[in-house]
Structure 1
Amino acid sequence: MGDIGVRFVEKRDVAELSQVLARAFFDDPVMVWMIPDETRRVRALERMFGAMTRHHFVGGGGAEVAADAGGAGRIGAASLWDPPGRWKQTPREELRMMPSLIRALGRHARRGMTMGEVMKKHHPEEPHWYLGVIGSDPDVRGKGFGNALMRSRLDRCDAEGAPAYLESSKESNVPYYMRFGFEVTAELTVPDGGPTMWQMWRNPG
């Protein structure tokens, strides 16, 4: 494997990026709750991440991939960030994403809506960079792809003097984010038997 490089996502990356994130989030508690059928979860996640990236994140300038061969090779991880003031999807973006999200979630679409409502209700109001999604392909996990993505964006946060925010859907990932300077500010429990998420905030260094 060559050197890891970080670059901005282009439209041609969306299919591969979606496959990487689908594998990364296959056993994620939030995704398991929203898409309990294992036999269709990977395809559903590919469709969901594809719609989110194509219709919202690419245009915001905060989506990045980490790839080997200095950024020109296979994508190992992806991160989807929203710049300050842009974490809310516009009505047009929601409309364009809706068909894919409904197909992805199927009869559990209501769970996806509930999840979104909880996250929006408790989202911080102070301007910040928002890490909506980050994930590494299980085949390369632990090899520095996620670290490269985190450092890339957080270095920019520090240069801008901007805080950062995320929700961790796995308690086991909380210490990982803490190594980058994030601190837990609250826990969110999704109603109707939903999972718990950990809200985490990072002040610029």
Structure 2
Amino acid sequence: MPTSIDVRVAQKPDVRALARVLGRAFFDDPVMRWMLPDDARRARALPRVFGAMARHHFLAGGAVQVASRAGEVGAAALWDPPGRWKHTPREEWRMMPSFLLAMGRHVGRGMGMTELMKEHHPEEPHWYLAVIGSDLEVRGSGFGQVLMRSRLDRCDAEGAPAYLESTKESNVPYYMRFGFEVTGEITMPDGGPTMWQMWRQPV
């Protein structure tokens, strides 16, 4: 693994940088394209959405991580510790203004997707990888690998399983290399895209 990539727990001052990175990483994501079909709107909306998620939910769990090289954030991961994947009503209330501003008339589609994911979410205690992505400028240079390995090492040390939903079928083999296995599929309504549910037992 590249030794020049540093992984650390993110703090509030990191939110702007990590939101920008995740926005760029998910610009061509099938689910995001389905939620926000207009390219220009999606480019503006995604950093705002990821920023609100990090600021109002994930940071409180202490499990947001960023991978940096020479001080520049190149990748980020939004994890939930065991037992914390459900958003509280207060968190949802605090995120909603940003979601409405970012998504406009498409916000209902996003809320429907979230409810569908909740219905299929496993109840067994686990670490939940909600989002992971690397900036296009550093993709393929090991940022995602180092970031993923850092948290999975902790999962193994704790004897805890991990769960994610892959929004791209092409990413499924990548996650399988880390020990994840496909356990199900979630298909969005009205001809929407599919997510692949993936579970990893600790080793």
- Same fold, TM exceeding 0.5? yes
Question: Aligned equivalents of 1:11 and 1:123: distance in 2?
Answer: 28
- Residue in 1 that maps onto 2:95: 97
- Residue in 2 that maps onto 1:140: 138
- Residue in 2 that maps onto 1:36: 37
- Residue in 2 that maps onto 1:191: 189
- Residue in 2 that maps onto 1:114: 112
Question: Aligned equivalents of 1:50 and 1:129: distance in 2?
Answer: 21
CA RMSD after TM alignment: 1.0
Shift of 1:103: 1.2
Counterpart residue identity of residue 30, structure 1: V
Counterpart residue identity of residue 161, structure 2: P
Residues 14-54 of structure 1, C-alpha deviations (whole Å, 9 max, x = no match):
01111100000000001001111101111100110000000
- Residue in 1 that maps onto 2:17: 16
Question: Aligned equivalents of 2:30 and 2:108: distance in 1?
Answer: 17
Question: Secondary structure of the equivalent of 2:78?
Answer: strand
Question: Secondary structure of the equivalent of 1:3?
Answer: coil
Shift of 1:102: 1.1
- Residue in 2 that maps onto 1:56: 57
Runs of 4+ in structure 1 displaced over 3 angstroms? Answer: none
Unaligned runs of 5+ in 2: none
Counterpart residue identity of residue 5, structure 1: D
Shift of 1:104: 1.1
Residues 123-180 of structure 1, C-alpha deviations (whole Å, 9 max, x = no match):
0010000000000001000101000110000000000000000000000000000000
Question: Aligned equivalents of 1:2 and 1:118: distance in 2?
Answer: 39
Question: Aligned equivalents of 2:125 and 2:190: distance in 1?
Answer: 31
Residues 174-198 of structure 1, C-alpha deviations (whole Å, 9 max, x = no match):
0000000000001111112221000
| TM superposition score normalised by structure 2 | 0.98
Question: Aligned equivalents of 2:118 and 2:98: distance in 1?
Answer: 20
- Residue in 1 that maps onto 2:165: 167
Residues 38-83 of structure 1, C-alpha deviations (whole Å, 9 max, x = no match):
01111100110000000001110110000013xxx10000000000
| TM superposition score normalised by structure 1 | 0.97
- Residue in 1 that maps onto 2:74: 76
Question: Secondary structure of the equivalent of 1:140?
Answer: coil
